[in-house]
Structure 1
Amino acid sequence: MQASTLTRADLADVVHNRLGLSRAESASVVERVLYHMCHALAVGQNVKISGFGSFILRDKGERVGRNPKTGVEVPIAPRRVMTFRASQIMRDRIAK
């Protein structure tokens, strides 16, 4: 099995081939979906796609880290991180 990456252009091609939209319309549909997902995450909403998974935002507090080379303690600022949790359907498909 050869490893490859699925791109926006690949998604637009699938929409074009399956729905019969023009290439420009297909690219626009993909861009709009991705835009709405990014916007929702940017304003603090989680994104859940049934049968695929959930993009979940978490706030991490400030903590002390350590430089592994010198051992000097360094404060790590609080930040927001995004995690992805695959749905059970997705996990079952990947496990095959």
Structure 2
Amino acid sequence: MRKPELAAAIAEHADLSKDKAGEVLNVILQQITEAVADGQDVSLVGFGTFNIRERSARTGKNPQTGETMQIPASKSVGFKPGKALKDAVNG
């Protein structure tokens, strides 16, 4: 499912126009993005939690040449699914 399909499903279930549902979806995604970028965890009960995960610097290997290289420390976004989502996926 892509973003326009999700907006259409929201419009159908919430009795909104597709344009309004698209706006709502964009605002939700923007707020999640801003909160996680500010270092906050975003927890949607039953769905899951978005958080920042930090990776330390490490030594890696260039797959083309085989030479070792330093991979700098970085941040990544993690997602931990909630119980309801896990149960829905596992049947």
Alpha-carbon offset, residue 70 of structure 1? 3.9
Compute the RMSD of aligned alpha carbons: 1.4
Q: Does 1:43 align with 2:15?
A: no
What's the % identity of the aligned pairs? 27
Aligned residue number for residue 67 of structure 1: 62
Aligned residue number for residue 3 of structure 1: none
Give the structure-2-normalised TM-score: 0.88
Aligned residue number for residue 27 of structure 2: 32
The equivalences for 1:1-96 within 5 A come to: 6-96=1-91
Unaligned runs of 5+ in 1: 1-5
Q: Give the whole-Å Cα distance in 1 for the aligned partners of 2:29 and 2:38.
A: 14
Alpha-carbon offset, residue 94 of structure 1? 0.6
Q: Give the whole-Å Cα distance in 2 for the aligned partners of 1:19 and 1:82.
A: 29
Aligned residues: 91
* Structure 1 runs, 4 residues or longer, greater than 6 Å off: none
Unaligned runs of 5+ in 2: none
Give the structure-1-normalised TM-score: 0.84
